[in-house]
Amino acid sequence: MKSVFSILNPRYHTAEEKIDIPNRIQRGPTDILRALESTVKTDLTAAHYKYHDDPFLIPMSNVGKRTFAMAQESGRKAAHWVRAQHPELFQHNAADPPIQMFFPKIVYNKDGDISEDNLKAAIKAVLVNDAIEIYKLCKEKGVEISPETMISFLEALCYNNGDEPLPEEFIEERWFRQSTKGKEKKRKTWKDGALAEEIFISINNPDEIAYSALIQGMSKYYQSDRAWQLFQEAQEKGIALNIETYNSLIRVSNFLKENYDLRWTFIVDLLTLAAKAKLKPNLRTLNAVLESLSLMGTSKNTKNLTLQTLSEFKKIGVEPALSSWYYVLNTFCKERGPVSWVLEDILVEIENKEHKIQDLIDTFFFVTAMDVCRNHLHDKELAKRVNKLLHHGSNYDLIGDSFKESIYYRHYFILLCQTEPLDTFMEEIYFKLVPHIYVPEPSVMGEILDSIEINTAIEYVPRIWSDMTIFDHTDREKLISSILNIMVNNHPEDKPDLVEKFGIIAWDIFTKIENQNEHRTQPVMFTGVMLGNILTLLLRNQDFEKATEIVEKLDADHQKVVGVPGIEPLKMYLDYCIRENAPSKAIVCIQYCAESGFQEAENMAKRLHSEMTLDETHLEKLSKIVGNFFIEQSLKKNENTT
């Protein structure tokens, strides 16, 4: 630059004023994007961005959401498969700078060169299967592997139990996997005598890292007895293990000791040993102790111990994370135990803070807290506070997976549906969250319908029905009869538009059940009451034609339809028949009544006879149904007239 200024005209670079040019503000590669993203808020009318924003392509039911997302994921997997099958097609380099993920997978075989670096790279990329392959090849070819690499290989094997973990890029699979990890039945899954143990044996004088890795691996996969043996072996040899090893052993204490007291002494012993080894306990130690305590029954002592543990760890500067509070909730709010309001105290601690994930179990907190709010305390204020915390900052990342999310919202919906005024619930919660954030399960729908019935809030029925059809709830007999009952029992006489809508809904229900797939395992069957209700609603909407179809259906499928409708709708239908001057239809109705064993059939026949002039054939039919006296009567009538 100096040379450039020297060539400038002197009057141009005599800087009599000093010009301060500020330094550039340093920023990361995605900082601008994040800043722009911060201006965008959530749009409740939109589906998740992974779906196409088009009414035809937005999944609406829980099954649909899962199917759409997994279909995308399966496409991704197909692409991976093609790449694995035809690596020769992917030798070009489309990206600059090169993207490792685009390159075909490296295949290791006997012909190629193998070195320790390959093994290191595979371990770093958590490609466990590849690492095992490379290790075997190295052994065959006699390639020397340094002890450090062997140890890190052992660690990788122990951490994953010798299995390949799910690749990180399959986000949807993780999200939708019905993961009950942590809650599932704990059982031994450690592979005894597998490669990990072989390597451990092959190491001369295994050091503390090797011991720690193997003990942690064994206790992670619940091979607790052998983990404990190894621990004792290490103690005898005077090998100093790290704190994580102690944590993992505390975690499996309920496998090692049956009795609660013995178990607690065992934990205390382990902690004393750790203290002697001058190890500083961390969050995972706290979580391990709390987890063990949460499995120790409902006695008062357990709760006291939990509180003591918390305060003691606080003293040494270990702040509990959400996972710790999850265990505390588990300890205090047992299904059969006394009611505990510990959640309120916990919320005071964690409210209005942004929480970062520190433990896998952190994702269990919100769903459990909401469960406690609903089932244990039945307190809507607490539920709202929990919900507020969930939506604070980026706390929503801790919701876990789709399964936990929907359970969370299930509890939230049912609790608020039962406790909040229905209007508030619908306005504030239902209309906002359904269907894009949460699709109510049939049980939740049932609760909402119950609430509507109690509050006689029939104006919500059309919306609920349209949601039910969209969410595929139309195959639930209970829900359908419930919504029909609501519509029949609350006749909106003063609102003609609602009457019309109800009529349409009733017909919709009828056609839905009529046209359901014949190959369903459990098709919905019409019941007499159901058809009676549909008939009532159609007649209220003055839809005689469709009502006739219902009556014909009743008459034709007499054997299939379970039970009979009440007499009221049939009487109503008869009135309509008289009004519409349709004697043959009326006779069908009366015949059905008679066949179904209604006493009123005779009265109905009389009524029909008195209010309408019937011809010979009709009279004949009527007399077949209810007896001969009609003809006599009519004869009399005729005589009188003549």
Partner 1 sequence: MSVLARAFDKGFVRSIPKSVSFYSVNTERIQEEEFRVLNLKSTRSQNIHAKKKGYKQNVLPPRTAQMPVDQDWGSVWPGPRTFHPATVPLPIRQGYRDKGAAPDKYANAELMKIPNFLHLTPPVVKRQCEALKKFCTPWPKALDTDEKCEKHFPIEVTFSNYCHSSPTIRDPLARIVTLKIKLSTLKLDEHARDKFRRLVGDRYDEETDTFTIVTDRCPTKKQNYEYAMYLLTAVYHESWEVEPWEKLKSDADMEAYDWNNSKSKQTIEELFKKEAKDVDNINEYISAINSLMNKGETKDTIHNYGLAVRKLLNLPVEAT
The Cα 509–Cα 173 span in angstroms is 36
CA-CA distance, 291 to 360, in Å (whole number)? 13
Out of 35, 79, 84, 277, point to the residue binding partner 1 (CB under 8 A): 35
Query: Amino acid letter at 434?
Result: V
277 three-class SS = coil
- Interactions with partner 1, residue window 448-477 (CB under 8 A): 469-470
Q: How far is the CB of 495 from partner 1 (least distance, A)?
A: 21
The verdict on 525 binding partner 1 (CB under 8 A) reads yes
Give the range of 22-30, 315-323, 393-401, 623-631 binding partner 1 by CB under 8 A.
Answer: 22-30
Amino acid symbol at 281: P
- In whole angstroms, the minimum distance from the beta carbon of 562 to partner 1 comes to 5
- Which of 111, 113, 168, 518 is the binder for partner 1 (CB under 8 A)? 518
Nearest distance from C-beta of residue 310 to partner 1, angstroms: 40
Identity at 196, one-letter amino acid code: A
Structure tokens at 236: 């005898």
Does residue 514 interact with partner 1 by CB under 8 A? no
| Beta-carbon count within 10 A of 164 CB | 13
> How far apart, in whole angstroms, are the C-alpha atoms of residue 492 and residue 504?
14
**Backbone φ, ψ for residue 527 (5° rounding):** -110, 160
Closest contact distance (angstroms) between CB of 479 and partner 1 is: 16
Q: Does 92 bind partner 1 (CB under 8 A)?
A: no
The encoded tokens of residue 239 equal 């090998």
* Segment lying near partner 1 (by CB under 8 A), choices 6-14, 479-487, 591-599, 618-626: 6-14
Q: Binding to partner 1 (CB under 8 A): which residues in 546-565? A: 559-560, 562-563
- CA-atom Rg of the chain in angstroms: 37
User: Which residues inside 412-441 make contact with partner 1, applying CB under 8 A?
Assistant: 431, 435
Separation CA 244–CA 55 (nearest Å): 51
Provide the phi-psi class of 161: left if phi over 0, else alpha when psi is between -120 and 50, else beta.
left
Residue 84 is a binding residue for partner 1 (CB under 8 A): no
Smallest distance from partner 1 to CB 21, Å: 6
60 binds partner 1 (CB under 8 A): yes
Give residue 633's Cα distance to chain centre. 69
Q: What string of DSSP letters covers 32-61?
A: HHHHHHTTPPP-TTSPPTTS-SSTTTS--S
Q: Interface with partner 1 includes 30 (CB under 8 A)?
A: no
Here's the x/- map for partner 1, 176-215, by CB under 8 A: it reads as ----------------------------------------
Q: Is 12 in the site for partner 1 (CB under 8 A)?
A: yes
Confirm or reject binding of residue 75 to partner 1 (CB under 8 A): no
CB-wise, 191 or 512, nearer to partner 1? 512
Burial of 610 (0-12, 13-18, 19+ CB in 10 A): exposed
Query: Which among 269, 187, 287 has a CA at the least distance from the CA of 228?
Result: 269
The answer to whether the peptide bond before residue 97 is cis (omega within 30 degrees of 0) is yes
CB nearer partner 1, residue 3 or residue 599: 3
* C-beta closer to partner 1: residue 469 or 603: 469
> In the bound complex, what is the minimum distance in angstroms from residue 480's beta carbon to partner 1?
16
Using CB under 8 A as the criterion, which residues of the chain lie in contact with partner 1 when the complex forms? 1, 3-4, 7-10, 12, 15, 17-25, 27, 31-32, 35-36, 38-43, 45-46, 53-56, 58, 60, 94-97, 99, 102, 431, 435, 469-470, 515, 518-519, 525, 559-560, 562-563
